[in-house]
Structure 1
């Protein structure tokens, strides 16, 4: 039996993130200004054709799912990667820290700059539309953040965890990861996350705060074939 997180993009776009979706019952994508993720309901020809119709000539989409990624005619993967999906079963002990503050749309440009520098994963100026973010600022400058991205019934993704290179090794990534995960637990939901399989340091961090592997995830950046 398929798990709701096996196709996390699809399950988010047909449920809690339906308001951000473009497409229909066979294939959906996030509005490009918010996120680049897209997915099909299944890998049948009709669903794949529907996905192809959602991708413009100069656009890229990102697919992420436990199943092997199948592309419709006319689309090609420009890069692929192996990732892991991890899930937490219980909250981790949190240390109160008055430096943690909610981020707002006024912080969006600085959030994008930090994400562009540290590359925690796909990030846009519209990220705050999908879920709450929190950060730590030093002398008014955002130096670390973490937040929420995809949401399915009973689940919320922990995402965007990053710290400025000047502040790596100071524990801010761990601090914010625990904080956000516990915020998700406090709502009666289960936090999960994605990490590239090659990012051993991040995986060790997440394991140390109670996350464990749920399934490998296939990732592909896709655009219309030349």
Structure 2
């Protein structure tokens, strides 16, 4: 396989909002963000000018959170820092096959494995699982960003993972989480494998993000073939 251009991953939020997720975007000038019930992430030009920051402030509103994801620009001095989290962006190299299980196993064994596709009717359970496991931001319409898969045990949702950001040529795997009582059974690896198979089948390439403190997740992603592309810092600010 030919190695893919990773430049789109430098601004995955902007690439998503300008492209595949344009129908889920709010815009004002050069500033853009997701609809409130979908995601908090916002984006600006690579080197924003004062007018760009002002447009983002008007777009989000006074006192609201500007979730800049991994955008490196420094906001105006009166924007109050809310969080700063060190992390990494990881990709699946082109010479790496789908994470376990293989594409054929994911397709043929979906029903037997208990992996199911999740939708609007599953949102209450998805939100409950996220509350218990805290994999990252997840809102009532986050599932509209892409395909979300889950594992049920005796009818209860015990694990899930899905597609989030969609910059050109790439799809982010996110919201990987397993209920405490269901851990150690390989659910996360199975869900990631099923998502990798779907992503690569449509011609996209998988990537993901992980907080540096989440060493267990990073170890799992490495085992499944993901490698670190670059360190990132996730940042959020309160608009005055």
**What is the TM-score when the length of structure 1 is the normalising length?**
0.93
2:139 paired with 1:124: yes
Q: CA deviation at 1:178?
A: 1.4
Could you tell me which of 184, 196, 208 is aligned with 2:199? 184
Residue deviations 1:57-81 (CA, integer Å, cap 9, x gap) = 342232122x534113542221111
**Number of residue pairs aligned between Structure 1 and Structure 2:** 224
> What is the TM-score when the length of structure 2 is the normalising length?
0.87
Seen in structure 2, the aligned counterparts of structure 1 residues 2 and 195 have a Cα distance that, compared at 3 Å, is: closer
Does the 8 A contact of 1:52 with 1:75 survive in 2?
no
Return the alpha-carbon distance in structure 1 between the equivalents of residues 149 and 166 of structure 2. Answer: 17
Partner of 1:81: 85
- Select which of 95, 99, 104 maps to 1:92: 99
- The more displaced of 187-196 and 17-26 is 17-26
- Verify: 1:40 aligned to 2:49, yes or no: no
Partner of residue 62 from structure 1, selected from 43, 47, 67: 67
Consecutive unaligned residues of structure 1, counting only runs of 5 or more, are none
Calculate the aligned-residue CA RMSD, in Å: 1.8
The reply to whether residue 134 of structure 1 matches residue 138 of structure 2 is no
Structure with greater helix share of residues? 2
Query: How far apart, in 2, do the equivalents of 1:9 and 1:77 lie?
Result: 20
CA distance in 1 between counterparts of 2:72 and 2:6 reads 14
More strand by share: 1
Moved beyond 4 Å, runs of 4+: none
